[in-house]
Structure 1
Amino acid sequence: MKKFIIKSIKMFFAGIFALYSMSCSDFLDKNPLDQISSETFWNTEDEVDMALAGVYARLRGFTFTHKDGSFDVMGGDAYGTVTTLSQGNIEPTSGSLVDQIYGDCYKGISTCNFFLDNVDMAEFLDATKLNQYKAEVYFLRALFYFTLTDHYGGVPLYTNYVTVEEALIKQSTKEQVMEQVLTDLDFAITNLPNEAYSDGHVVKGSAQALKARVLLYNERWSDAAEAANQVISDGKYDLFDNFRTLFLTEGQPNNPEIIFSTRYLAPDITNNLDIRFSWHGILNPNQILVDAYECTDGLTIDESPLYDPTNWRLNRDPRCLMTIKAYEDKVINSAGVEMGFNYNNVGNGYNPVKYCNWDVLPIDYSTISDQDWILIRYAEVLLMYAEAKNEASGPDASVYSAVNQVRDRVDMPPLPEGLSKDEMRERIRHERRVELALEGFRWSDVRRWRIAEDIIPTIVDVGGARRKFDPSKHYLLPFPQSERDINPNLDQNPGYN
């Protein structure tokens, strides 16, 4: 934690708020500042907007783009070139992934706290506008803390911008951190504009949807259903009619399904999702995921007469081919030439289609992308409502409606009537798996459902190694050893000492 605090301190006073724009809106097109002085800053709304843009820019690290997809590797539905993920060999000294999530979140929290501690100096702002600025940052702080608790459990809790010495504290319990997360989100819900998400700014629906996810992950079923239903009832979001282009640049502006996202805009602010998820083989869907997709009659491949084992593409849930690409598929490169694909990093023969624009991959393997990484979308809200409502009171008509809307978008048949609560639970879990595949939810889902130890050890990687999952420790990540070396008050998670 200390090294991230130190880095944050240095970055703030060397231009932390001059990070980059995130979209074509005026808010996100602010020019960089060379130096920031907190004593002379906060004098104009442009300066406050620059500060706010600096907070949002914290989302563009590994944790809120590549990590989300890559964690499907740990969830059992994909292979990957990062062996600590694909083989479950994560330890406190693993570096990379373990350090990255912890560091990205705490740098984000530090940035949030700096903003919140100082924005009151913008005395020209009226109370409504000031609270709206704060609400956006409270939402982001809640997102950072929620991400930490999902992976590490209880973590150190800071609600102010702290010095290096003040940072060296013991972790709070997960329940204490969640209480703060919900407090932050309630402030955000009260003070954010009630309008559709469009320009990169958090809105009320973003906060309501994140609150639903927080409550769902903590098994507060009735509260989670209520929070999700508020988003549904508000009527500002809908399922986008084209599942494929939802994840590509051309389908994202003013998309009614997107509730919050990490924003990019070429040529200045870009990512490498296309190259990472395609040529680099960081995320390769496995056969288990391919086989999970139903046939178009709504039956599994083991049950359906429509399934053809000699041609797995035929008569499948359309999301299968809009999520997964096979080795025999062709690619049209940027010169317009149809070509086969070099699968040097794809030992199992599958690659993602989601988030990858395969038809414009350049010949020289070098590419940049500017599709936004969707963090919250309406389909997830519908499935959160269905899960929470079913767990709270069973499968009523509203549960069927929520799930069937998601299925109907891709012309899949509705669920059969008369399902029991347990049967509906399995249907909802299936729907989350195929609808949200490769978006980073699977790892969290198999852990919160407490089924990880039943699923993950059954998976054998391409090289023959069997996956590992030790339920005595792997439900949480270890704290980075480098952080514990600095902060002696930080207790390691069980099983990693």
Structure 2
Amino acid sequence: MKNIFLVLSASALFFTSCELNEVPQATATEEDIFGTESGLKTYSYSFYNNITSGSDAFKGDAMADYGAVNSLNGFLVEGSYSAETSSGWSWSALRNINHFIEKCDNPNLSEPVKNNYIGLARFFRAWFYYNMVVRFGDVPWVDRPLSVDDSEALYGERDSRVLIMEKIMEDLDFAYNNINAVTSDGTLVTKWTALGLKSRVALFEGTFRKYHTDLNLSASAGQYLELAAAAAQEVMTKGPHSLNRAQGPELSQRQLFISDNPVTNEVMLAVAFSKDLAVLNDANWWWTSATYGPRYSLVRPFINTILNIDGTPYTDRAGYMTEEFYDECQQRDYRLSQLIRTPGYERGGVAAPPNFASFSYTGYQPIKYTLDDPLYDNGGTNTNAVPLMRYAEVLLNYAEAKAELGTLTDADWANTVGALRERSGVTGGTKTLPTQVDLYLKKTFFPDISDPVILEVRRERQVELALEGFRFNDLKRWKRGELMAELEWSGIYIPALDQLIDLDRDGKADVVFYDGSQSGPSIAVPNGVARVAIGGRANNFQTLTSTKHLEWFKAQPRNWYADGRQYYYPIPANAITLNDNLKQNPHW
């Protein structure tokens, strides 16, 4: 199936209700759907629409500590977000799934056939509830389609995350044991996808319980960490997936994000697109436009955590703070050049350094999801598939769970973090557990962590999975939400104002930075060279730090409430109006 986000045909069932107190409307008879295996298969395609919007799959980290953008998300602006503006309390996907599970009982179909599709439905129910718990914490557990007179469920209280997580694990176990598919073209769920999701969910819950001691659930954190490790290990030892190495260390990771077809040796689930079917995405437009996208720019504290090619920390280099852009990009883990524009990067056969004229605020311009031909930049024309789950994540889930349990071995390290680093060209520290704390990583990101193994696993996770939609949830489960407000949005080192800078050292000047209190640079600037004002003008958020690094949005503070309310979203006010048994999340 070329595109997993299908709209069902007229012969299939459609559901339009979106709240717990609404009843679904069917446009086809149940016999049309539930009487044949082909009907079940067609219905099951509707579940995929609920994972994510295909057109938004590449925007997962739109709000993250390491992403400087042109406009702050209201969630991070003090006083700007409330129950009245909250969203996400939608239950139509769950109703669709539960209706399917209840009606999938036709005696003319064999039990293995029915259980295969029920397994798929329960996989998607687990995914749905995982997202709800991550967003809201406690939520109502509903495992049946509701009628208008089902007042107990419609107007009941929220169930505890303890119950919800137990139910999620049950659903995923059933899915793994009953889904028939063991391989796919990358766009369909297999039994291994179910285990991959189990490792993701269990890791989230185990670490959330460990670090959020206010829940009084830390005693059960280890149970979920064990489940995460066991699920990941099952994928690693019995599943068909492996790390993609086809393009060598320079391109193998990025190939996963710019290929039209999912690279199925590593990609376990993706949303795919097709020019022939006119089903396209606008990744290039979003990531390269001065006006359509957020001008997303990665920040230097994060870039600093990407290792040298020999496996040593970049921040161990003498004088790293004053290295210019070209120099800081040399001899680094090849994931750096697969993540951002670095010297030598070309678009349409032309050198393409960071674009300060219309995009980058920091100099670290992402390329992970963008095709290199500029023809894709102005509209929804991208055909590249977007991974939603890949084997690399499973390796990291295993490594982190075992590290948190204190049971990660040298062999485990070599097979997980070490393998990922080797795939990206790193030559040192891939075989044995780290023994030394990287003080920069600890001080900047995780001051409460003193275990070098946990620190390095977290480094690996933020580098390998950058921009893939994990970051905010990772910070929430580690109880490091403060980084959303505190991480410095700084960029490349600027040795002097009014100086032509050749970012990629190809012999052509690319940008000049000048005092924004002046009308322009004090030197002659050739055509085609970007001019960037530093401070001095109203609404100019481009400044320099005391160490002469670009800094963005210093004038508008980001906010993380000291009471920790942002670890959950508020339940929308209209939902509480409809059901006064719902209690609002703390401090909202």
Aligned partner (choices 60, 75, 80) of residue 69 of structure 2: 80
Please give the alpha-carbon distance, in whole angstroms, between the structure 2 residues aligned to 1:93 and 1:81.
25
SS in 2 for 1:137: helix
Aligned partner (choices 191, 195, 219) of residue 178 of structure 2: 191
SS in 2 for 1:350: coil
Deviation for aligned residue 1:419: 3.3
**Residue 11 (structure 2) pairs with residue 37 (structure 1):** no
Task: Provide the residue aligned with 1:137 in structure 2.
Answer: 121
Task: Provide the residue aligned with 1:313 in structure 2.
Answer: 329
5 Å-filtered alignment, 1:197-216, equals 197-198=184-185, 200-216=187-203
Alignment size in residue pairs:
460
Aligned partner (choices 562, 570, 573) of residue 478 of structure 1: 570
- AA aligned to 2:306 is Y
User: Given the superposition, is the C-alpha separation of residues 351 and 287 from structure 1 closer, same or farther in structure 2, using an over 3 Å criterion?
Assistant: same
SS in 2 for 1:376: strand
Please give the alpha-carbon distance, in whole angstroms, between the structure 1 residues aligned to 2:96 and 2:70.
32
Please give the alpha-carbon distance, in whole angstroms, between the structure 2 residues aligned to 1:63 and 1:172.
33
**Residue 458 (structure 2) pairs with residue 429 (structure 1):** yes
Aligned partner (choices 363, 372, 379) of residue 358 of structure 1: 372
- Equivalent pair of 2:6/2:46 in contact (CA under 8 Å): no
- AA aligned to 2:477 is R
Deviation for aligned residue 1:200: 2.5
Please give the alpha-carbon distance, in whole angstroms, between the structure 2 residues aligned to 1:164 and 1:328.
62
Task: Provide the residue aligned with 1:234 in structure 2.
Answer: 238
**Residue 390 (structure 2) pairs with residue 377 (structure 1):** yes
5 Å-filtered alignment, 1:32-431, equals 32-33=10-11, 36-42=27-33, 43-61=35-53, 65-66=57-58, 68-70=60-62, 73-74=63-64, 76-84=65-73, 87-89=76-78, 91-93=81-83, 95=85, 98-99=86-87, 101-103=88-90, 106-121=91-106, 123-163=107-147, 166=150, 167-193=154-180, 195-198=182-185, 200-219=187-206, 220-241=224-245, 242-250=252-260, 252-266=261-275, 267-279=277-289, 280-282=292-294, 283-304=296-317, 309-310=323-324, 311=326, 312-325=328-341, 331-332=347-348, 341=355, 344=358, 346-362=360-376, 365-401=378-414, 402-415=416-429, 417=432, 419-420=434-435, 422-431=451-460
Q: Computing the radius of gyration over CA atoms, which structure comes out larger, 1 or 2?
A: 2
Task: Provide the residue aligned with 1:3 in structure 2.
Answer: none
Please give the alpha-carbon distance, in whole angstroms, between the structure 1 residues aligned to 2:361 and 2:77.
18
Deviation for aligned residue 1:175: 1.1
Please give the alpha-carbon distance, in whole angstroms, between the structure 1 residues aligned to 2:74 and 2:465.
19
- Equivalent pair of 2:187/2:262 in contact (CA under 8 Å): no
User: Given the superposition, is the C-alpha separation of residues 193 and 484 from structure 1 closer, same or farther in structure 2, using an over 3 Å criterion?
Assistant: same
Q: For structure 2, list consecutive stretches of 5 or more residues without a partner in the other structure.
A: 14-26, 207-223, 246-251, 436-449, 490-550
Q: TM-score, normalised by structure 2?
A: 0.71
Q: For structure 1, list consecutive stretches of 5 or more residues without a partner in the other structure.
A: 1-21
Please give the alpha-carbon distance, in whole angstroms, between the structure 2 residues aligned to 1:439 and 1:237.
19
Task: Provide the residue aligned with 1:12 in structure 2.
Answer: none
Please give the alpha-carbon distance, in whole angstroms, between the structure 1 residues aligned to 2:202 and 2:56.
20
Please give the alpha-carbon distance, in whole angstroms, between the structure 2 residues aligned to 1:208 and 1:286.
34
Please give the alpha-carbon distance, in whole angstroms, between the structure 2 residues aligned to 1:306 and 1:413.
22
SS in 2 for 1:41: helix
Task: Provide the residue aligned with 1:6 in structure 2.
Answer: none
**Residue 2 (structure 2) pairs with residue 23 (structure 1):** yes
User: Given the superposition, is the C-alpha separation of residues 24 and 390 from structure 1 closer, same or farther in structure 2, using an over 3 Å criterion?
Assistant: closer
User: Given the superposition, is the C-alpha separation of residues 60 and 235 from structure 1 closer, same or farther in structure 2, using an over 3 Å criterion?
Assistant: closer
Please give the alpha-carbon distance, in whole angstroms, between the structure 2 residues aligned to 1:77 and 1:46.
46
- AA aligned to 1:493 is N
Deviation for aligned residue 1:424: 0.6
* Identity of matched residues, %: 25
Out of 342-351 and 401-410, give the one that drifted further: 342-351
1:446-478 deviation line (CA, Å, top 9, x unaligned): 221122226632435722223221242111122
Task: Provide the residue aligned with 1:462 in structure 2.
Answer: 552
- AA aligned to 1:265 is S
Out of 59-68 and 239-248, give the one that drifted further: 59-68
- AA aligned to 1:202 is V
1:218-264 deviation line (CA, Å, top 9, x unaligned): 212222111110000014110011111101233x4352111122343
Deviation for aligned residue 1:65: 1.8
- Equivalent pair of 2:312/2:428 in contact (CA under 8 Å): no
Q: TM-score, normalised by structure 1?
A: 0.83
SS in 1 for 2:268: strand
Deviation for aligned residue 1:325: 2.9
User: Given the superposition, is the C-alpha separation of residues 360 and 454 from structure 1 closer, same or farther in structure 2, using an over 3 Å criterion?
Assistant: closer
1:256-306 deviation line (CA, Å, top 9, x unaligned): 111122343333433323322332333332222222212212222221369
- Equivalent pair of 1:458/1:466 in contact (CA under 8 Å): no
Query: For the aligned residues, what is the CA RMSD?
Result: 3.1
Greater helix content:
1
Aligned partner (choices 467, 472, 490) of residue 438 of structure 1: 467
SS in 1 for 2:365: strand
SS in 2 for 1:474: helix
SS in 2 for 1:354: coil
SS in 2 for 1:375: strand
User: Given the superposition, is the C-alpha separation of residues 322 and 66 from structure 1 closer, same or farther in structure 2, using an over 3 Å criterion?
Assistant: closer
